[in-house]
Amino acid sequence: MNDTRFDPGQADGRWQRAWAEARAFKADSASNKPKSYVLEMFPYPSGRIHIGHVRNYTMGDVLARYKRMTGHEVLHPMGWDAFGMPAENAAMEQGVHPAGWTCQNIATMKGQLQRLGFALDWSREFATCDPAYYGHEQALFLDLYAAGLVYRRQSAVNWDPVDQTVLANEQVVDGRGWRSGALVEKRQLNQWFLKITQFAQELLDGLGELDGWPDKVRLMQENWIGKSQGLQFRFDLTNGDMVEVYTTRPDTIFGASFVAVAPDHPLAEAVAANNCEAAQFIAQCKRGGTTAAELETAEKLGFDTGIGARHPFTGETLPVFIANFVLMEYGTGAIMAVPGHDQRDFDFATKYGLPICRVIAPAGSNPDEPLTEAEPGDGLAVHSGFIDGMTVADARRAVIARAEAEGWGAGKTVWRLRDWGVSRQRYWGTPIPFIHCAACGVVPVPKDQLPVTLPEDIDFATPGNPLVRHPSWKHVACPSCGGAAERETDTLDTFVNSSWYFLRFASQPADRAFDKAEIAAWLPVEQYIGGIEHAILHLLYARFWTRALRHIGLVDVAEPFASLFTQGMVTHETYRSTGNDPRWLAPEEVERRGAEVVEKAGGQPVEIGRVVKMSKSKKNVVDPDDMIARYGADAVRWFMLSDSPPERDLPWSESGIEGCGRFVQRLWRLFGQHSSTVQGTDQALDRQAHKAIAAVGEDIAALAFNKAVARIYELASAVEKAAPSASRSAAIRTLVLLAAPMMPHLAEEAWAKLGEAGLVADAAWPAVDPALLVDDEVTIAVQVKGKLRDTLTVAKGLPQPDLEALALASDKVQRALDGAQVRKVIVVPDRLVNIVA
């Protein structure tokens, strides 16, 4: 091994080909080794791999390679979440076909991933836009339909009247279509829904068992599911009608001073029908913005309907308002308002001069003290008839019991979670496999006619859904009566595609979506890695699909992802030119001159902005391919793992990647010093090497890659400093193996030069000799009153009295004691002595 430089330019590709030829990372479902399924969230083929992908997939790759080395049969697959709007946008803007655009991107990005040397089983690769995938999805959708988990109903969508298209919420900017700028209308369409609410309790309970998930994500899902328990009850109205309200605070029912209904509540609409002031008020409410900032400042507004509501206990008549802060989508769309104990009600009551009455008071406080703001806290019921003196919890139960006994209300659980609307009025998605027949209604496409494929000859020049406009695609015979009928032209939300792809990776028979037994062999995914932005929707939908498929007997697993890891973003400094017309500058447009940063062209000073997530708009991006070309895949991978803990943001820096490139070369030079002839043992180095093996293994298993990296640096430094010995050569071989999951190309090259047989990718993780993990000498900290005064190096296991004597004998200790009386000595064996004077 004479070469002084490792040349990634030729070595990377050579080893990538070697792995491919050996099918080194093909997962064998029939293997009897313990199985490990390592999965990173599959990418949307947007064009090119960005550095965030590199970080994500490097982490998974290190874990997958480590698992292989520790004797596991590893499934580490990759594919493409290939349906979605960017492809349609490209079609409209560039006149290309979404399929062609997508395939091109997949080819580009696959090449990029391969150049990073990821240990992926490419034989299982698929794209969700392939009929071989979405056809099975259609079959699963029909199975769920047959089980009653799919239904259709009217639902509002954002409609862009210029583009003749439905917009996602994110595409509505300030009430206007993002592309056309037209005022967006609400339209009612018949749409498909999945009954996720049927699984609300299960999905909530399941969170409790997901120990391998971050608490933060579990909490976010819990809040999203939003279970609340309360009382739903009826107010009889003075107009002979009645209104149902829902409250989580039945204990405050005696404090109700008015009833409020949502602007789109049927009662409000009935009032508006012959009261144009009411109609105007409702229209005004609907105009109001729904952004956070607008809601923050929005005033509580109401319209007194003149109708009265009879309080079920006091018989008092309460006014009924239409109020802008009541939501039709939650509960019953109507509330009993208790100003004393709800701030919104308080604000409203203050504005409209309604009574504010305290009905809960903290024990021992004066129940007649006036309220200056709503008190949502705990206490005892006051001014509350038969529940006076009860705790909040008792009062709740008592009121619910009375309502149920008297028949005007009942305890009820309400969920924030809504059923999942999966209809999208778009081309580039999975066609929903149904046919609309004038005679037979909605008819499922028979399974032997699946997949329902997308037509290829489409027109994107005209606005609207091309499937609707296509001359022939939707016209089919009804499967039931044979008469003329039309296909459903909606396609499925792309989140459906990503809700079961991890099952298809594990098992891909041709004739069905997956094989139950093969799924059982691989699932649950042992470690799932991805961005926090998927904490709610994707992860909740995937959990729901898995449970729904279990419900209909297709899988046995309940939770798809045993452990979840959400990695941080890759960030970079931003640069802005100075002068009259400041603009963002790319890293390659600027250079450092001492402490200053200037524009390369012209030399004007550059303002250094905040360190933020890499984005094209701020130009603070680096291209993974450029970095691979300059430093090699291993240096890029090493950088992704170094320094920052993986859950935190990683600031990209030019000097950082250069340092990684230098370390690759430094290791290479060190590997070159391996000799199989030199003799002699170096016990200290043996110890250090074995400690490193244990620590790096633990760190990788815990995804603490930054710590594993630091250990490898430490061992490398120690080996460099050590004199030649058999121990040193063994430590060099150990280093090759420890580096193998992180810098696989360098490790393969070194492994071959060391004369080892086979691929290092297939090598076993080095065994740890437990005897070498313990030192025979330890350093003892000697403290006086908790402050460090001295350290002692002593034999391990030295008895406490000896330690105490040695500590007291120390000059530094005596000086610190300064003749004071020793009152107490605390001795922690092999660790520390603390002398208290």
- The footprint of RNA on residues 231-270 (CB under 7 A) is 246-249, 262
Question: Which residue in the block uniquely carries the two structure tokens 């390592």?
Answer: 38
- Site map (CB under 7 A) of RNA, residues 408-447, x = contact: ------x-x-------------------------------
393 belongs to the binding site for RNA (CB under 7 A) = no
CA distance 512 to 341: 56
475 belongs to the binding site for RNA (CB under 7 A) = no
Cβ neighbours for 505, distance < 8 A, ≥ 6 positions apart: 39, 75, 77, 79, 124
Tell me which DSSP letter residue 553 carries: T
295 belongs to the binding site for RNA (CB under 7 A) = yes
Q: Binding RNA by CB under 7 A: which of 242, 629, 684, 788?
A: 788
Instruction: Kindly state the smallest distance separating residue 733's Cβ from RNA, in Å.
Output: 20
Instruction: Kindly state the smallest distance separating residue 105's Cβ from RNA, in Å.
Output: 26
Q: Binding RNA by CB under 7 A: which of 161, 288, 479, 531?
A: 288
Question: Which residue in the block uniquely carries the two structure tokens 């209904």?
Answer: 261
Report the 3 state secondary structure along 811-830. HHHHHHHCCCCCCEEEEECC
Q: Which of 220, 754 has the CB closer to RNA?
A: 220
Tell me which residue of 808, 800, 795, 798 sits closest to 836, measured CA to CA.
808
Query: CB atoms < 10 A from the CB of 766, how many?
Result: 21
Instruction: Kindly state the smallest distance separating residue 706's Cβ from RNA, in Å.
Output: 6
DSSP states of 645-708 as a string? -TTS-EE--HHHHHHHHHHHHHHHHHHTT--SS-----HHHHHHHHHHHHHHHHHHHTT-HHHH
Q: Which of 419, 649 has the CB closer to RNA?
A: 649
Q: Which of 222, 625 has the CB closer to RNA?
A: 222
Instruction: Kindly state the smallest distance separating residue 336's Cβ from RNA, in Å.
Output: 7
Q: Which stretch binds RNA (CB under 7 A): 319-327, 429-437, 461-469, 580-588?
A: 319-327
CA distance 543 to 528: 13
Q: Which of 103, 798 has the CB closer to RNA?
A: 798
- Burial (CB < 10 A; 0-12, 13-18, 19+), residue 755, is exposed
795-814 positions binding RNA, by CB under 7 A? 812
82-121 positions binding RNA, by CB under 7 A? none
518 belongs to the binding site for RNA (CB under 7 A) = no
Q: Binding RNA by CB under 7 A: which of 133, 254, 281, 325?
A: 325
834 belongs to the binding site for RNA (CB under 7 A) = yes
Q: Which stretch binds RNA (CB under 7 A): 295-303, 473-481, 490-498, 676-684?
A: 295-303
Instruction: Kindly state the smallest distance separating residue 720's Cβ from RNA, in Å.
Output: 6
| Alpha helices per DSSP H over 226-291 | 266-273, 276-287
Q: Is there a contact between 24 and 123 (Cβ–Cβ < 8 Å)?
A: no
195 belongs to the binding site for RNA (CB under 7 A) = no
Instruction: Kindly state the smallest distance separating residue 642's Cβ from RNA, in Å.
Output: 6
374 belongs to the binding site for RNA (CB under 7 A) = no
Instruction: Kindly state the smallest distance separating residue 19's Cβ from RNA, in Å.
Output: 28
CA distance 439 to 321: 45
369 belongs to the binding site for RNA (CB under 7 A) = no
- Amino acid identity at 438: A
Q: Pairing state of beta strands 570-577 and 606-613?
A: antiparallel
Instruction: Kindly state the smallest distance separating residue 603's Cβ from RNA, in Å.
Output: 19
226 belongs to the binding site for RNA (CB under 7 A) = yes
27-86 positions binding RNA, by CB under 7 A? none
Distance of CA 254 to the CA centre of its chain: 44
722 belongs to the binding site for RNA (CB under 7 A) = no
Cβ neighbours for 77, distance < 8 A, ≥ 6 positions apart: 27, 39, 120, 121, 124, 125, 505
517 belongs to the binding site for RNA (CB under 7 A) = no
Q: Binding RNA by CB under 7 A: which of 168, 219, 371, 586?
A: 219
Instruction: Kindly state the smallest distance separating residue 754's Cβ from RNA, in Å.
Output: 20
CA distance 460 to 98: 10
What is the maximum span of the chain, computed from C-alpha positions, in angstroms? Answer: 108
Instruction: Kindly state the smallest distance separating residue 666's Cβ from RNA, in Å.
Output: 5
352 belongs to the binding site for RNA (CB under 7 A) = no
333 belongs to the binding site for RNA (CB under 7 A) = yes
536 belongs to the binding site for RNA (CB under 7 A) = yes
Give the total residue count for the chain.
Answer: 837
Q: Which of 37, 671 has the CB closer to RNA?
A: 671
640-699 positions binding RNA, by CB under 7 A? 642-645, 648-651, 653, 655-656, 658-659, 662-663, 665-666
Tell me which residue of 268, 272, 252, 270 sits closest to 260, measured CA to CA.
268
Cβ neighbours for 243, distance < 8 A, ≥ 6 positions apart: 234, 235, 237, 259, 261, 267, 309, 320, 332, 334
CA distance 335 to 327: 10
Q: Which stretch binds RNA (CB under 7 A): 52-60, 225-233, 380-388, 556-564?
A: 225-233
Instruction: Kindly state the smallest distance separating residue 721's Cβ from RNA, in Å.
Output: 6
Count of positions on this chain that bind RNA (CB under 7 A)? 85
Cβ neighbours for 417, distance < 8 A, ≥ 6 positions apart: 196, 197, 200, 203, 224, 225, 226
Instruction: Kindly state the smallest distance separating residue 169's Cβ from RNA, in Å.
Output: 10
544-583 positions binding RNA, by CB under 7 A? none
Q: Which stretch binds RNA (CB under 7 A): 58-66, 323-331, 540-548, 679-687?
A: 323-331
754-783 positions binding RNA, by CB under 7 A? 779, 781, 783
Q: Supply angle C-alpha 454, 457, 463, rounded to 5.
A: 90
Cβ neighbours for 781, distance < 8 A, ≥ 6 positions apart: 788, 791, 831, 832, 833
Instruction: Kindly state the smallest distance separating residue 707's Cβ from RNA, in Å.
Output: 6
Cβ neighbours for 88, distance < 8 A, ≥ 6 positions apart: 98, 426, 427, 428, 460
Q: Which stretch binds RNA (CB under 7 A): 16-24, 89-97, 285-293, 796-804?
A: 285-293
Phi and psi angles of residue 189, each rounded to the nearest 5 degrees, phi first: -125, 155
Instruction: Kindly state the smallest distance separating residue 334's Cβ from RNA, in Å.
Output: 7
Contacts of 439-445 with CB under 8 Å at 24 or more apart are 439/478, 439/480, 439/481, 439/483, 440/478, 440/480, 440/481, 440/485, 442/152, 443/478, 443/479, 443/480, 443/485, 444/142, 444/145, 444/146, 444/479, 445/138, 445/142, 445/479
701-720 positions binding RNA, by CB under 7 A? 704, 706-707, 709-710, 713-714, 717, 720
Q: Which of 11, 761 has the CB closer to RNA?
A: 11
Q: Which stretch binds RNA (CB under 7 A): 183-191, 200-208, 289-297, 358-366?
A: 289-297
CA distance 30 to 326: 57
Q: Which of 329, 368 has the CB closer to RNA?
A: 329
794 belongs to the binding site for RNA (CB under 7 A) = no
Burial 4-26 (b: 16+ CB within 10 A, else e): eebebeebbeebbeebeeeebbe
606-625 positions binding RNA, by CB under 7 A? none
H or E segment and range at residue 232: strand 227-237
624-643 positions binding RNA, by CB under 7 A? 642-643
Q: Which of 87, 301 has the CB closer to RNA?
A: 301
Q: Is there a contact between 225 and 200 (Cβ–Cβ < 8 Å)?
A: yes
- Site map (CB under 7 A) of RNA, residues 155-174, x = contact: --------------------
Q: Binding RNA by CB under 7 A: which of 48, 195, 344, 516?
A: 344
Q: Which of 194, 703 has the CB closer to RNA?
A: 703
Encoded tokens for 473: 């695609």
390 belongs to the binding site for RNA (CB under 7 A) = no
721 belongs to the binding site for RNA (CB under 7 A) = yes
Encoded tokens for 278: 């009411």
